[in-house]
Chain A
């Protein structure tokens, strides 16, 4: 644990950017067809429910990171194993994020550059920021929040005025009923990206005002959920279902369609920059969570000494998790949701909640006696 504090605004910036990371750019929720925006809104409400599973447990241990109090809930040894598994899952998701970013870059702008070069340079920068500590990351997020909003305004403005929007594309609504919408929202969208916010359980002790957690968390979740839903809506109205299903990066395709006066064209840079910024913070937060988890579990002195080794593991993992982008996506929507997101962000937190309640209850009873 470092001795650092971040403010509520910084935490908000981190959470907000974290939620937008990759989800804003990669194709997800398309299984809901034309109503993916609705599905994202539902997923957001699922995210709010998840928060109320995480929150009571956090309230009991506001000064400890997840890896510490998980031991107190599940017992020393099982807790330690779970904590370690959490570190690995955080690292795995960080690797997925880096891979998303690398694949976008290598398939859109840097077609000749090897993936390894992109990943290495990206992860090294993340490592550098994390070496400086969470305070630096928080302050950086605070600044880049405004850059991101600016990019969002510019991108939205051009898409809206370009005249590419046809509302026919999202009609008729609910063509196949509520079924596909609900199955997409739960569990896929609920866990990705909203459930992934569980990683912040590792960072919560750094917040200077513990009372503001609820407000910050929920406001960040709702803001980002609305933006994600809006973006999906915009993508669908511009691209239509068919193109949307076939695009690897729908937002990139949407922006790519903008052509104003034969002069304002090829605004892909906006999307690439957005992804760069958001994924940078998302991967950084996951990596940091994994690192301080390891520091905590193995009782190391400080996190600086293992940042670089873990970073190199991250580079290696990001290269080896999938041999192709198709495999990467397939894994992301199937195996990763089933074996990482659902157990680690829904089932275990829920068990933690139940067990801590039971322990509380037993404690109270024994105290009463």
Chain B
């Protein structure tokens, strides 16, 4: 009797234990500390043909979580690996990194100018798009005059993780200065081979001593050495980088493609002096309408912006509405000029950066079906009417500037 009870107890325990195996949950369960968080990916030319050099920026979790600054390790670590496909490089990385790469926190993608000019480098996003871990809503940048791995390896003083720094930089700059386009991966995927619009990608370059890149000493001083800086917008013809647009031209691209979220435009106070005032643009909306006249695309581009006087370093009567009107007019002309610069560059390089093709597709689907395949032939011929109009709403907390004309 006693034996029977112990047997059944054993049996019960056996069943109980075997049931436990069913309750452990996910098959795919992984511990957090098995993962290496990839924050940035850089792609460069490899010395082998048909291969790219992939560089991954990983967080060093020990340094990030520890508040004490006594640690000597850098907050990030970068690893490089060549591969014919990105996934090959990722999987091969396991020979170098102890942890499994985890991509859900990827912040930024950097591709070197060199391979962008050769074209075909933009195919590497497929794995990001296909993989369930991947997100495609983060920006891609072009490493200008330098290699992507250098950009990825730079240490930054204010944000510990330089990928975050890069991403925040471009987002802040987009909001306040308006010369850098935030081009998300999803945008590239949608448009890179679409016929109605060409992509444009912001550039990032190295400043300071490039030998200092990635050294802890580079940020152990107030004037950090070996840093990165955003510079210009790269224009594309299909998947080939064709030209860099800088300064006003870059801002023209932003105005024309309805991407301005904030900008600061300098205007001469009056025609005969060199003093400036700055108009802050805080709203801008661009509408593009297309029609076909005589087998030639005609585009109407309407830019409506709003802003305020941000700074006036010259004697000017800002209480006078007529003066404001005149300033509005000159600012509008400035915007128009910048967009024209951008358009001229786009036409020269056959880069449909404003998406005129899409506009024609919307307006006249039948003609578009005919033009679609050789749109690049029609595009430079397009007649574009640019109308820019800015409204200056306020002058800030002061009306007239303290600079006065001597009586």
Contact = CB atoms under 8 A, between A and B. Distances in A.
Interface residues of A, number: 21
B137 interface: yes
Nearest to B104: A266
B362 A112 contact: no
A172 interface: yes
Contacts of A266: 104, 135
Given A107-B132, A111-B132, A168-B362, A242 B194 contact: yes
B365 A113 contact: no
Interface in B136-189: 137, 186, 189
Interface in B1-37: 26-28
A108 B190 contact: no
Contacts of B137: 257, 259
A223 interface: no
A172 B365 contact: yes
Interface string A165-198: 0001001100100000000000000000000000
A265 B118 CA distance: 35
Contacts of A114: 27
Residue from A117, A171, A172, A257 whose CB has the most chain B CB atoms within 10 Å? A172
B166 to A, nearest CB: 15
B198 interface: no
B358 interface: yes
Interface residues of B, number: 15
Residue from B28, B104, B189 whose CB has the most chain A CB atoms within 10 Å? B28
A250 B361 CA distance: 24
A108 B361 CA distance: 34
A112 B358 CA distance: 41
B358 A240 contact: no
A110 B190 contact: no
A113 B362 contact: no
A168 B358 contact: yes
Contacts of A136: none
Interface string A35-52: 000000000000000000
A252 to B, nearest CB: 9
Nearest to B133: A111
A110 B186 contact: no
A108 B132 contact: yes
Contacts of A313: none
B246 to A, nearest CB: 29
A172 B26 CA distance: 45
B194 A172 contact: no
Interface string B344-366: 00000000000000100110010
A243 B362 contact: no
A240 B191 CA distance: 11
Contacts of B135: 256, 265-266
B132 A117 contact: no
Contacts of A243: 189-190
A257 B186 contact: yes
A33 to B, nearest CB: 11
A247 to B, nearest CB: 10
For the complex of A and B, 4 pairs with smallest distance between CB atoms: A113-B27, A112-B28, A108-B132, A172-B365
Interface of B: 26-28, 104, 132, 135, 137, 186, 189-190, 194, 358, 361-362, 365
11 contacts: A110-B27, A110-B28, A111-B28, A112-B28, A113-B27, A114-B27, A172-B362, A243-B190, A256-B135, A257-B186, A266-B135
Interface of A: 107-114, 117, 168, 171-172, 175, 240, 242-243, 256-257, 259, 265-266
